[in-house]
């Protein structure tokens, strides 16, 4: 599938504190992430879960693969960190910064 990369123009409605360096958790290869905003042009919606399969632009962007329950990939796109929320399976010491509506 062709990869697309979403620029800051696609995340202009995120709160300023999300865009400041240091306020977004460092995302790692194979992290399970969820989208923070709808992307109707790709039929992807806030909360949709994917896996980071590649780190791009020296860690400024991430290739995320979305797959169905049978493991078939239905979308693979590039995102900036503020467009993603890392999902945690273990107890956290400090909660991430909330997204305000």
pLDDT at 96: 60
pLDDT at 98: 57
Domains in the chain: ranges and CATH:
8-86 (2.30.30.30)
Task: Report, as ranges of residue numbers, the positions in the chain whose pLDDT lies below 70.
Answer: 1-25, 92, 94-101
pLDDT at 41: 96
**Residue 33 near residue 64 (C-beta atoms within 8 A):** yes
Element (H, E) at 33: strand 32-35
pLDDT at 89: 79
DSSP label at 71? S
**Residue 54 near residue 65 (C-beta atoms within 8 A):** no
Residues 6+ apart with CB under 8 A from 78: 3, 4, 5, 6, 56, 61, 62, 63, 64
On whether the pTM is more than 0.85, the answer is: no
Distance CA 87, CA 25 (A): 11
DSSP label at 73? E
Neighbours of 37 (CB within 10 A): 17
């Amino acid at each position: 599938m062709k990869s697309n990369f979403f620029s800051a123009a696609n995340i202009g409605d995120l709160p300023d504190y999300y865009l400041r360096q240091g306020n977004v958790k460092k995302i790692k290869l194979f992290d399970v992430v969820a989208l923070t905003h709808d992307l109707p042009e790709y039929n992807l919606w806030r909360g949709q879960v994917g896996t980071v399969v590649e780190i791009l632009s020296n860690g400024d962007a991430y290739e995320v693969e979305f797959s169905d329950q049978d493991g078939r990939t239905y979308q693979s796109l590039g995102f900036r960190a503020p467009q993603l929320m890392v999902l945690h399976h273990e107890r956290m010491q400090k909660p991430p910064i909330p997204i305000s509506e």
